[in-house]
Structure 1
Amino acid sequence: MDLLYFALLCSVLIFVHELGHFVWAKIFGVKVLTFSIGFGPKVLRFRGRETEYCVGLLPLGGFVKMLEENRQEPVLPEDRKRTFEAQALWKRVIIVIAGPAMNILFPVLLYFSVFVGETRFSPPTVGFVLPGHPAEGKLTPGDRVLEVDGERISTFAELARIIGESPGKELRLKVFRNNEHVEVVVVPEEKVVRKPLDIVEKVGEIGIKPSRPAAVVGISRPDSPAYRAGLRTFDLVTEVRGRPVKTFADLETALSENHGETVPVTYLRPVKVPRAFGGLADMAVYESGVAALTPEASGHGDLESRTGLESADLYVFDVAEGSAEWNADMRPGDRIVEVDQAVVTAWATFLERLLVAPDRPHMVTWLRGGVKKSGTILLRREDWIDEYGQHRPRYFVRASNWSPVVPEAYVEHASLLPFALRSALDETYDVIRFIVVGIVRIVEGKVSISTLGGPITVYDVVGEEGSKGVSYFVWAMAVISINLGLVNLLPIPVLDGGHLLFFLFEAVSRRPLPLRVREIASLVGLLVLFALMGVAFKNDVERRWDVIQGQLRELVD
């Protein structure tokens, strides 16, 4: 099956490339003698009016043979104006560049086919507002954003795109809240995103997430009504007095008017099962239960003050033994309170405070059984070489929380075709930029040439993505197509970029380069290409050998 995927990908991409040359040659009246896909023995061949169409057994290349003066074949007098050389320079440039251009533009169609097939979109409903970000105090969970600067939106993806493109720009949001329309003005803060190959992007962010927290509770006070009723931190409440509860907001609503009345609360409690399935995994299973909760009768405070229940977002669910967090005496069930004496109100804020200065120790304060504890934590650092050969530090917070969310009901996209086209263009641009930057980094020596991949790598990638489904295969085909187009534009004789280089000399000197010079340059280009292919093949073999060694070690262990 992998071989079938590989053959299909190569055949399609080569066909698209050669079709670009072929179509524009025909448009300009150049006589095309042969249009061939694949090398080796011909498995299919037929002749049109003046062109022979062939399919070779090996789908690893192709060519469009045009009538040329310098070839061995004789040129009839009536065909002299139809040779490739007889065309104006700009026409020859278009014919040559059409092949790589087709490989670069074809992914737009591929990505479009993937995006247009999307049927599940999250609505533009605010699920969670991160403290300390521009949306705090302006948007609230449950807000439905209808318009941004007068532009109507129907999905959270559209909202995120507009915000991401608008760092530092004032945005006017039309919001549906409590059965009425309100206008909210928010200015996205600028966030620097560092990507591989030292690519830096500046995007806007206001601190919202699309899904609301599930009704997972935290209990910090052992003297609270919730604790006395038998509820514990990380219990997932499913019903209150027989009424279904999904989100933490539902739980707050169900208990909002209760002051002293005992109600049954149904919950699911995660119980950890270490080394389950013979040590293959650590997991947790739910145990169900019912608690008789009696909120405090006096006062009109919030849910936490009346019952002792709050969101489990700030509670530690797991701590790696032997980690800096563990050695500082942090344990599962602890509630994070402060970092460096600054109060934190969300787990995301806790992580932000640690990662803003990851190389220095941080004083963390937490609650355990209502008692404050604190310790100093230095994040674990790992220096590693990424897949592009660049050295990078990576920092790990070895404590984690458990705060599942409840997705909103999916909606249809109001303008699916424009969305798919825009997304396809954006994705194509991102891949082109990434590949171009990668080539530049290799030339600069910042990225190892060992990152080059050859046909074995392509075979592995295509097989792996193809096994996941059609959309993954199409995605891989798009990336490889762009690679093929850009590589063909490199100024190496025998590649299309080499021909464009010859045309540049012709444009400057007002006459074509001598045939002998082009022949020698093509020979040198061929040697360079063989050398690059040799390096890529060597890298492929080394990667495959590393994989085999890893599999053997797993079998031995």
Structure 2
Amino acid sequence: MFGLPTFLQAILGFLLLIGPLVVLHELGHYLVARWLGVKSDVFSIGFGKEIWGRTDKRGTHWRIAAVPLGGYVQFAGDGNAVSQADDDKIAHMSVEERDHAFATQPIWKRSLIVLAGPVANLIVAFAIFFAFNAIQGKAVEVPEVTGFAAKSDARNAGVQLRDRIVSVDGNEIVSATEIAEHVLPYPGRTVELGIEREGRTLTVPVKLASQTVKDQFGNEGRIADLGLDFASPNVRLVVPGSPAEKAGIEANDRILAINDTRVTSFRQVRDLIMTRPGEKITVSVLRGETEKMLPVTVGSVPGTNEKGVKATYGQIGIAYGKIEKVGPIEAATMSVGQCYGIMRMMVTGIVQIVTGERSVKELGGPLKIAKYSGEHLSLGFDNFVWFIALISINLAFINLLPIPTLDGGHLAFYAAEAVRRRPVDAKGQEWAFRTGLAFVLALMLFVTVNDIASLLPIGK
């Protein structure tokens, strides 16, 4: 499945990723419960056999268990790890103990306690994005067309050079960096491009072709691409350990030429490099007012061409864009938008899988998360922390789904209780929780088998 170094990185990355996120999620439940006067009997990281544990002066038993795929807080009066009330246990409590039991609390308190876990994960992601935005600023590119790919759906639909993209499917576009979120997830769809041309506003429908891409680790994804270029060839960042870094290319360099070919857009740079895997090239850059000629050995990554045939492409590990510094308010606003955008893409992905637009093979489980954790860890601190933010939003999103045993399932029960003015009967809750548990276990089994099938060279 992995080479040995990558396997060790995957184990380390997975533990560094899941451990803190689970702790912070459960701390959200615990701290809000404690604030609202609800006693916690057990705080567990992981499930199954206890590896370590101790009980504090408040009577909470803190434990680490053998299976590190989650955790739970069991409150006073709970019958199990998913906070089903134990009526017999509650009946034998003193009046004071009942006051601190979870099940005896009003709906608003129970809802806040349950909601606190996913909110904690969203706060983690927000904090990470805020730090990146405040330190690094934002990438900005004027959404004016400067070039086309060799095969461009937008050009075929009538988009011209110097057209300015002002909207995609009604979503306002200020920077070219905003276009991707409205295009990449929708291969095969037709999008409406709003463009400005010589003082006129036009609408151009573009059917997006499906494109299969692979990264340097062989991870495959299906995306859409307009085939437009907006970017000047300014280097925004250099991937640690990449051919570009080894050659001495730096952030804020402007690429002037690849070998003897002058370039004016980043797509030209990408296209010239993609066709030269493993070759030695000369990259001319402008740094300040000095032009430098840097020899670069192009890296090789696997991919798939437009005919679906496996191919090898060149890559040197740079990203484009101009950077603008932002203040704390704008950094916070950007962070909220990033969290929302990622959750919206998750919803889109699930809908596409349900409707058959995407294959269920794109679903990932713990093995893929471990693999990706190791890969992002190998790319450096920034990449790994960014991946933590992404998975933190995933955890929040999944836990908010209205599935019994998950936080969203509890919230659904409380909503029903608020409407009916009485709780769902014990038999109904028991049936729902058993069904929810069976669904979650079946899903975990499916994605794990899916992971094994995609990570092992079976049929490849």
TM-score range (shorter-chain normalised) is 0.5 to 0.7
Could you report, residue by residue, the CA deviation over 1:312-360 in whole angstroms, capped at 9, with x for unpaired residues? xxxxxxxxxxxxxxxxxxxxxxxxxxxxxxxxxxxxxxxxxxxxxxxxx
Root mean square deviation, CA, Å: 4.6
CA contact 1:37–1:62 (8 Å) conserved in 2: yes
Tell me which residue corresponds to 2:213: none
| Counterpart Cα distance in 1 of 2:209 and 2:121 | 25
Tell me which residue corresponds to 1:498: 409
Tell me which residue corresponds to 1:2: 10
How far residue 78 of structure 1 moved from its aligned partner, in angstroms, is 1.3
Could you report, residue by residue, the CA deviation over 1:233-287 in whole angstroms, capped at 9, with x for unpaired residues? x7479xxxxxxxxx99xxxxxxxxxxxxxxxxxxxxxxx9xx99xxx8344569x
Tell me which residue corresponds to 2:39: 31
How far residue 208 of structure 1 moved from its aligned partner, in angstroms, is 6.4
1:20-419 aligned at under 5 Å gives the runs 20-39=28-47, 40-68=49-77, 70=86, 73=89, 74-118=92-136, 132-134=161-163, 160=176, 209=232, 211=234, 214=256, 235=260, 281-284=278-281, 381-382=306-307, 413-419=324-330
How far residue 64 of structure 1 moved from its aligned partner, in angstroms, is 0.9
Question: Aligned pair in 2 of structure 1 residues 470, 513: CA closer, same or farther (>3 Å)?
Answer: same
Q: How many residues align?
A: 344
Could you report, residue by residue, the CA deviation over 1:377-421 in whole angstroms, capped at 9, with x for unpaired residues? xxx953699xxxxxxxxxx9xxxxxxxx9x99x87x443534533
How far residue 42 of structure 1 moved from its aligned partner, in angstroms, is 3.2
Higher CA-based Rg? 1
| Counterpart Cα distance in 2 of 1:454 and 1:20 | 24
Helix, strand or coil at the partner of 1:209: coil
| Counterpart Cα distance in 1 of 2:161 and 2:142 | 20
Question: Aligned pair in 2 of structure 1 residues 198, 540: CA closer, same or farther (>3 Å)?
Answer: closer
Tell me which residue corresponds to 2:418: 507
For normalisation by structure 2, the TM-score amounts to 0.61
How far residue 198 of structure 1 moved from its aligned partner, in angstroms, is 11
| Counterpart Cα distance in 2 of 1:122 and 1:533 | 38
Question: Aligned pair in 2 of structure 1 residues 123, 49: CA closer, same or farther (>3 Å)?
Answer: closer
Could you report, residue by residue, the CA deviation over 1:479-538 in whole angstroms, capped at 9, with x for unpaired residues? 222222222222221112222222233223221112122112211211111111111111
How far residue 128 of structure 1 moved from its aligned partner, in angstroms, is 9.9
More off after superposition, 43-52 vs 516-525:
43-52
Q: Which runs of 5+ in 1 are unaligned?
A: 136-156, 171-184, 217-233, 238-246, 249-271, 287-379, 386-395, 397-404, 551-557
| Counterpart Cα distance in 2 of 1:6 and 1:158 | 37
Q: Which runs of 5+ in 2 are unaligned?
A: 1-8, 78-84, 148-159, 165-172, 183-192, 211-220, 235-253, 265-271, 284-304, 312-317
Question: Aligned pair in 2 of structure 1 residues 162, 510: CA closer, same or farther (>3 Å)?
Answer: closer
Tell me which residue corresponds to 2:295: none
Helix, strand or coil at the partner of 1:415: coil
| Counterpart Cα distance in 1 of 2:444 and 2:178 | 43
Q: Percent identity?
A: 32
More off after superposition, 5-14 vs 444-453:
444-453
For normalisation by structure 1, the TM-score amounts to 0.52
Q: Higher RCO, 1 or 2 (CA under 8 Å, sep at least 6)?
A: 2
How far residue 456 of structure 1 moved from its aligned partner, in angstroms, is 0.7
